[in-house]
Amino acid sequence: SHTTNLKFESKLIYKAIEYNCFHGGKQRKRSKGLRPHQHYMALDCEARIRLYNADGFLKITKLELSHNDQPDPQNLKYYSSHRCFDKKAIEVIKSFDKHQVPRTIIRNMIMSANKTKFTTVKDISNALNKVRTNNLPSQAIHKILSDIKALDTVST
């Protein structure tokens, strides 16, 4: 006996989940509020898959695979997900920032080192902010204790 039902045991904690194309949805107007520079690259693409958790098994309730946007490999470099820095680039950014080199110059140097990588000044700022605020609480406690120890010569 042959069945077309696909049995896949689900560990999904939600009742339903939907994955959409990156360009899904309607084009939104730019905000005039507190955060005015929020961009959304919506092209009203209908590609999506919706899964429903039915008694521990996943059931596909909507499947639309045709894209109305043509993902162009040449445009991938402009997507934020492709503008990440490796550890070497972050070290270069940190060293130039320590010497107060303007971020536009840092961006130009990063882009000239890697011709295929597109970088914005905001990417540089975000990388520096992440490095500065990515300290673990244990690191902060260790720093405070070492500062206290340096100030108090009688402590052990």
Per-residue pLDDT of the chain (156 residues; tens, 9 = 90+): 455 666 666 566 778 888 888 767 665 655 566 666 566 666 778 888 898 888 777 888 998 888 877 767 777 777 777 778 888 888 888 989 889 999 999 999 888 888 777 888 988 888 888 877 555 666 677 778 888 888 877 765
* Residue 135, CA distances (Å) to 86, 129, 147 in order: 18, 11, 17
Structure tokens at 51: 């899964």
Which residue range(s) make up the domain with 106? Answer: 85-156
Q: Which of 23, 46, 71 is the last residue of a domain?
A: 71
Q: Do residue 52 and residue 10 come from a single domain? A: yes
Any domain includes 79: no
Any domain includes 145: yes
Structure tokens at 133: 């605020």
Q: What pTM, to 2 d.p., does this model score? A: 0.47
Under 8 Å between Cβ of 120 and 128: no
Long-range contacts (CB closer than 8 Å, 24 or more residues apart) made by 22-29: 22/79, 23/67, 23/69, 24/48
Pairing of strands 57-64, 16-20: unpaired
Q: Which of 41, 71, 101 is the last residue of a domain?
A: 71
Q: Do residue 89 and residue 130 come from a single domain? A: yes
Any domain includes 78: no
Q: Do residue 155 and residue 91 come from a single domain? A: yes
Under 8 Å between Cβ of 92 and 110: yes
Any domain includes 77: no
How many structural domains is the chain composed of?
2
What is the Cα–Cα distance from 41 to 25, expressed in whole angstroms?
9
Any domain includes 80: no
Contacts of 120 (CB under 8 A, 6+ apart): 83, 107
What is the Cα–Cα distance from 61 to 14, expressed in whole angstroms?
15
Q: Do residue 144 and residue 120 come from a single domain? A: yes
